[in-house]
Structure 1
Amino acid sequence: MTVTPRMPLPTVRGRQTKAAIDAAARAVIARKGILATTISDIAAEAGRSTASFYNYYDSKEAMVREWAVRFRDEARERSRGAEDPGLSNWERSYQAATAHWTTYRDRLAEMISVSQLAMVNDDFAQYWKDICALPIALITKMVNHAAQQGLSDDDDPHLIAVALVSMLNQFCYTQLSGGGKKPDDQACITTLATIFYRTIYCRGPR
């Protein structure tokens, strides 16, 4: 996905208005999802006119493209902590779970928007695939690492990784979206780390 960035906003007021629109859009999308969110919803949340939105974005899809490109490198950087060769199996599981949870939590609007737009737009479908490829590659390495320790059956590491990432995404979405009670970060990360650890490093006979 390629995005042509707009020119930097020339005034403090312009930057503040754009920030207000972005914040409003994130809040509405977290509650309603991108497909049900309208430009009018975003403008009303921001306390601005609908015309104000179009001063900064051509469409809500264009807005999401700008957001998504910004956070791609951040997600990659967070996942690297689980690749430290000095970690124990539990520490590696915990680092991987933390990276996935915090990325989804901190970039909830991006994750919801790209995943939902992927259902109706080929461009976003490819971008969602690229986003998921990061944790899939990490977990595949973890399964291969377990196999080197004799802790893995003859399963397909890639398929295990795909299954885990699918579960992780749905868990994070269920816990974080909808605007309900804020989840307990520590409890959620520990739960995900336990699933990582038991799935990858505690393999018993079938």
Structure 2
Amino acid sequence: MSTLSEHPRRERPVLPTARGRKTQAAIDVAARAVVARKGILATTVADIAAEAGRSTASFYNYYDSKEAMVREWAMRFQDEATERARSIARSGLTDRERVREAAAAHWNTYRHRLAEMISVSQLAMVNEDFAQYWAELCAVPIAFLTDMVNRAQQQGYCRGDDPHLLAEAIVSMFNQFCYVQLSGDRTDVDDQACILTLTNIVYRAIYGKEGD
């Protein structure tokens, strides 16, 4: 299996014209919309081309396959997702504030990169390389939450829990909750209510006292 950074990318010439750049942008926008509605496994290149109002041949001018398209998407936003997660490690926050920052970072990553998150997670079920990519994307929040649990245990909270397993369970819950809320055609999602819900669940899981 290859990591996301190790996977070879096909070298393509820089798009020389405004028309070429506009066409690729239209394909990306269309692909994101279709993937958000149907998921990547049910999406075809023909679906993407139809959504974009372009020919199927136009798609192949920019991507070798829908999997290659997702790989390029993931490479573009991997650093962004990592930086967003790391920003919550700053000092001066209370325990609850830090939990909220973690919940908001995950929610906002899913909200703004919905097509990438859906695509990589679904392709991870059928492709070993994408399984590795998905593991890489989840590794940063899992590491952060593992550290949070370790520090909470030093204060007497969540004794007896395995920090890494608890972190993995929380990130899995984050991912499924975000998918259920944000995928499809829903237009009524309350971002702040969802972030508050995630915050409350995680705060209680880590900092709740026995018997509460």
State whether TM-score is above 0.5.
yes
Gaps (5+ residues) in structure 2? none
C-alpha distance in 1, partners of 2:27/2:146?
39
TM-score (norm 2): 0.94
1:7 corresponding residue in structure 2 = 13
Measure how far apart 1:179 and its partner are.
1.5
Q: Distance in 2 between matches of 1:190 and 1:105?
A: 15
Question: How far apart in 2 are the matches of 1:157 and 1:199?
Answer: 11
The Cα of 1:158 is off from its aligned counterpart by 0.2
The equivalent of 2:101 in structure 1 is: 95
TM-aligned CA distance change 1:8 to 1:21, over 3 Å: same
- What's the C-alpha RMSD, in Å, of the aligned pairs? 1.2
Equivalence for 1:86: 92
Structure-2 separation of matches of 1:167 and 1:107: 18
Per the alignment, residue 17 of structure 1 pairs with 23
Which residue in 1 is equivalent to 2:53?
47
Residue aligning to 1:150: 156
* Displacement of 1:192: 0.6
Paired residues in the alignment total 206
Q: CA offset at residue 150 of structure 1?
A: 1.6
Conserved? CA contact 1:3–1:65, under 8 Å? no
Query: Can you give the 5+ residue segments of structure 1 that lack an aligned partner in the other structure?
Result: none
Q: Report the CA distance between 1:152 and its aligned residue.
A: 2.5
What is the one-letter code of the residue matched to 1:201?
Answer: Y
* Aligned equivalents of 2:74, 2:188: Cα separation in 1: 24
Aligned-pair CA distance for 1:205: 4.5
Q: Per-residue deviation at 1:86?
A: 1.3
Give TM-score, length-normalised by structure 1. Answer: 0.96
For the pair 1:201 / 2:207, whether they are aligned, the reply is: yes
- Aligned match for 2:137, one of 123, 131, 134: 131
How many angstroms apart in 1 are the aligned matches of 2:69 and 2:184? 21
Q: Whole-Å Cα distance in 2 between the matches of residues 3 and 47 of structure 1? A: 30
Q: Which amino acid aligns with 2:59?
A: F
